[in-house]
Amino acid sequence: MWPTDPENGLSPKNTIGIDVYNPPPLHWTSLLVLAYQSCGVVYGDLSTSPLYVYKGTFSGSLHRFLGEEAVVFGVFSVVFWTVTLIPLLKYVFIVLSADDNGEGGTFALYSLLVRHAKFSLMPNQQAADEELSAYYRPGYSTEDTPMLRALRNFLEKHRKSRTCLLVMVLFGASLVIGDGVLTPAMSVLSSFSGLQVHSSALTHGEVLLLSCIVLVCLFTLQHWGTRRVAFLFAPVVVLWLLLLGALGVYNIVVWNPRILRALSPYYVVSFFQRTGKEGWISLGGVLLSMTGTEAMYADLGHFTAASIRVAFVGLIYPCLVLQYMGQAAFLSKSPNCNIHFIFFESIPRPIFWPVLVIATLAAIVGSQAVISATFSIVRQCTALGCFPRVKIVHTSNRIHGQIYSPEINWILMLVCLGVTVGFRDTTLIGHAYGMACAGVMVVTTLLMALVMVFVWQQGFLLATMFLLAFGSVECVYLSAALMKVPQGGWLPLALSLVIVAVMYVWHYGTRRRHMFDVQNKVSLKWLHALGPSLGIVRVPGIGLIYSELATGVPAIFSHFVTNLPAFHQVLVFVCVKAVPIPHVRCYERHLIGRIGPREFRMYRCVVRHGYKDVPGDDIDFENDLVVRIAEFVHMEAAEAAGNSADAPRESDASVEGRMAVVSRPFDLSRTGLLMRAPLPNPEESAVVRAATAATAATSTADSGKTETIQSLQTMYEPESPGFAIRRRIRFEIDDVTSESMDPAVKEELSALVEAKHAGVAYIMGHSYIKARKSSSLFKKLAIDVAYTFLRKNCRGPAVALNIPHISLIEVGMIYYV
């Protein structure tokens, strides 16, 4: 039995000792703590909706019905049933159950479909990926009904259907990214507009300027991360929600207790009978009561479905309903109030300023949560090859999901300021906000129906009922939002089109480049015919050849040896690829195999990451790879000797040899190697330790190097202590175990250790993508203009994988796709 963890042989645990893949049932106290914490992260956006729902609803032609109590009651009834049907019934009780190993969001649904229904357009997928323990949903059966099999075959054979599905997912993700622009502008401007209620000297321009200053501060402080102020998030939002509930109860009792009658759906029917087309168009404002609902599902990975349900049912839902009911009660008896400040005018004057302060803090918290969610979505899109590589900074050493992207942050800030200054009014921003909200909900409903069929295997009837019940309601809201396109609703559509275009062009170019690599692979027969020397000079050292191919030898190899007929004594073809699951367990991450006979000293390493993992996060990859190759050599020898108990798990058989999942052994002696690390001095920093250990630890490794190379290393190492330390680590053959070791294995390990001491070089392709002359005009624009521009202005793969520049060799190639 293979060990399940590279360090202790146990299943992975987080810092508090909980199995992150198979968590035990939560005690009720832990559940309540998680529910409390989720209020600050998940519900910041949703809790600020009462600031602008009635304003957006009565801003149009419905304003002429403001004096009719029945219409006001009808608006509240529509809001109440909207919040009940969509956020409560659809999301809390149904959609939250469709988690992808604990993760939620649009990409989680798409990931489930890619794995269970084979809808993937991602290149470089292997049959070995299906053996990952988190690949299939527990209880999933591969046996299909005839109708389901026919539908699956149709979708798998018709590539356009899979392309349409991908575009729909990208559109949904782009709408959520657009929320990162609209939410801060809407929330902050709405909260500061309350200053004008009791301060007539304050002009709208001054409120606008104050809002812009707060927005600049909000985005500027993003690089500090949320961890420094996260402990304030939950108390602020909980206090805000309790205030909403208390104010709602106060307004109900003081102004119009008969508002309780509006809980009946009868008032919904009478509302549309009385208002007609105006009532239908006003649904664009009612939509704002659901803003932030999608974030509740997208943030599922930070908490549990049970904790999010408890928080919503126990606190969020009743407080929001009471607040909407209280505002309606106030409005029914105050038809002459300023509808633009309806929330602030319904606040009793003695507590106005404290409520305004808390409302502003709640708006900032809600904006912060949406901005952080935008960073996470961009990272997921990047991992799945649907977004250009951007810089990702971890702002917390304890919480892996708290990240920051400088490029995305500044773009969001500029667009957000442009929206705030350009629209100048929360009504117009609200039209755009509602459009984005309705669009992403329709996308989620369509994906959820497919998940019910292909993943849950519940049959077409249940999926059709779900689609009709919720899809029809959301389409009505979407149609109302589309009526507001000339009045601000065009903004999220324009933003989404730009973002989808960027995503699809990047995905298309990446896929075409991979197809070129597949079609131009080096023939293994030709490689074997060259013999162990490969027809070139084999120099000391390890050459890591990075490629996007998980099988075969890339064209970059032949291109390199053609121009420089020398290569390293040990060659390892490395492929870092994404698989459509959130996280790959550390003991399943590496596939190791051999290319050619043993004397060729050629290996393959496939490093698999989930769409929420961070490639290049392993600072000790070189030494870790040596240990895994040594383990593979022993596994291969044991299998050849007939020791089936220790045989590697076969995961990909091909003409180039078998690949096996190889975890780093917790007992290094079983590999026959000893690792000698520099002794740390607790009184010195890591940089000083690396420098002082240089002479003693590398005397042998640097003996064949020139003084120029050594001086370059000396210059580089203080800038990268991790690189210096891992270069100082030395491997030796264990004399105790080497006596009983197979001579061929010992010889191979000796060659591996010798090559590691000589140094490691990273070889990557520096490719230029060009469209063929016979290509269509659209393809030439997409590849030669758009994709080339994106590649030149995004992070290079070497930077994204943390490859040291001192050891990097780039080989230029032109790809005609």
| Contact status, residue 335 vs residue 67, Cβ threshold 8 Å | yes
| Contact status, residue 435 vs residue 182, Cβ threshold 8 Å | no
| Residue 498 placed within a domain | no
3-state helix, strand, coil in the chain (%, to 5): 60, 10, 30
Length, in residues, of the chain:
817
Hey, CA dihedral for 691, 692, 695, 700, is it positive or negative?
negative
Q: d(Cα 74, Cα 743) in Å, to the nearest integer?
A: 86
Query: Do 470 and 568 belong together in one domain?
Result: no
Q: What is residue 370's three-state secondary structure?
A: helix
Report phi then psi at 467, rounded to 5. -65, -40
* pLDDT band at residue 23 using 50, 70 and 90 as cut-offs: low
| Contact status, residue 544 vs residue 761, Cβ threshold 8 Å | yes
What whole-number percentage of the chain has pLDDT above 70? 83
Kind plus residue range of the DSSP H or E element containing 214: helix 204-220
* Average predicted confidence (pLDDT) for the chain: 80
Which residues fall within 8 angstroms of residue 350, CB to CB, at 6 or more apart? none
Strand positions, DSSP E, 475-586:
537-546, 566-578
Which residues fall within 8 angstroms of residue 785, CB to CB, at 6 or more apart? none
Query: Do 454 and 588 belong together in one domain?
Result: no
The strand pair at 760-770 and 537-546 is best described as: parallel
Specify the range with the lowest mean pLDDT, choosing from 13-22, 47-56, 133-142, 730-739: 13-22
| Residue 688 placed within a domain | no
Query: Do 527 and 469 belong together in one domain?
Result: no
Strand partners, 103: 100
**pLDDT, position 651:** 42
Q: At what angle do helices 406-423 and 426-454 cross, to 10 degrees?
A: 130
* pLDDT band at residue 7 using 50, 70 and 90 as cut-offs: very low
Compute the average pLDDT of residues 590-608: 88
Residue that is last in its domain, among 481, 502, 537: 481
pTM higher than 0.85, yes or no? no
Domain span including residue 385: 28-127+150-481
Query: Do 528 and 473 belong together in one domain?
Result: no
Q: Which residue has the tokens 């800038």?
A: 719
**pLDDT, position 12:** 39
Residue 558 has pLDDT above 50, yes or no: yes
Residue 279 has pLDDT above 80, yes or no: yes
**pLDDT, position 310:** 92
**pLDDT, position 77:** 95
**pLDDT, position 687:** 33
Compute the average pLDDT of residues 102-121: 82
| Residue 71 placed within a domain | yes
Specify the range with the lowest mean pLDDT, choosing from 125-139, 189-203, 677-691: 677-691
Q: What is residue 59's three-state secondary structure?
A: coil
**pLDDT, position 657:** 61
pLDDT tens digits, residue range 783-804?
Answer: 989 998 998 888 888 777 778 7
Looking at 84-138, list the stretches that DSSP marks H as alpha helix, in order from N- to C-terminal side.
106-117
Query: Do 475 and 608 belong together in one domain?
Result: no
Compute the average pLDDT of residues 229-233: 68
Residue 14 has pLDDT above 50, yes or no: no
Residue 597 has pLDDT above 60, yes or no: yes
Compute the average pLDDT of residues 349-366: 90
- Total domains present in the chain: 2
| Residue 701 placed within a domain | no
* pLDDT band at residue 176 using 50, 70 and 90 as cut-offs: confident
Query: Do 46 and 171 belong together in one domain?
Result: yes
Higher-confidence position of 742 and 2: 742
Query: Do 439 and 550 belong together in one domain?
Result: no
Query: Do 604 and 752 belong together in one domain?
Result: yes
Query: Do 192 and 118 belong together in one domain?
Result: yes
Residue that is last in its domain, among 459, 481, 503: 481
| Residue 781 placed within a domain | yes
pLDDT tens digits, residue range 568-583?
Answer: 889 999 998 888 888 8
| Residue 272 placed within a domain | yes
| Residue 257 placed within a domain | yes
**pLDDT, position 404:** 81
Q: Which two tokens stand for residue 220?
A: 């500027």
Q: d(Cα 495, Cα 505) in Å, to the nearest integer?
A: 15
Query: Do 451 and 531 belong together in one domain?
Result: no
* pLDDT band at residue 246 using 50, 70 and 90 as cut-offs: very high
Q: Which two tokens stand for residue 181?
A: 């622009």
Q: What angle do CA 39, 40, 44 make, to 5 degrees?
A: 90
**pLDDT, position 686:** 34
pLDDT tens digits, residue range 212-221?
Answer: 999 998 888 8
Q: Which residue has the tokens 């309780």?
A: 260
Query: Do 451 and 572 belong together in one domain?
Result: no
Q: d(Cα 536, Cα 544) in Å, to the nearest integer?
A: 17
**pLDDT, position 582:** 85
| Contact status, residue 576 vs residue 546, Cβ threshold 8 Å | yes
pLDDT tens digits, residue range 299-319?
Answer: 787 788 888 999 999 999 999
Q: At what angle do helices 743-758 and 621-640 cross, to 10 degrees?
A: 170
Chain centre distance of CA 112: 14
Q: Which residue has the tokens 């952080």?
A: 372
Residue 667 has pLDDT above 50, yes or no: yes
Compute the average pLDDT of residues 294-301: 82
| Integer-rounded Cα radius of gyration of the chain | 30
**pLDDT, position 810:** 83
**pLDDT, position 163:** 83
Report phi then psi at 655, rounded to 5. -65, -20
Closest CA to 67 of 274, 260, 244, 245: 274
| Residue 648 placed within a domain | no
Residue 688 has pLDDT above 60, yes or no: no
Query: Do 409 and 553 belong together in one domain?
Result: no
Amino acid at 420: T
Question: Buried (b) or exposed (e) across 781-794, using 16+ Cβ within 10 A?
Answer: ebbeebbbebbeeb
Closest CA to 268 of 70, 53, 434, 91: 70
pLDDT tens digits, residue range 710-719?
Answer: 555 555 555 4
Closest CA to 362 of 182, 604, 370: 370
**pLDDT, position 812:** 80
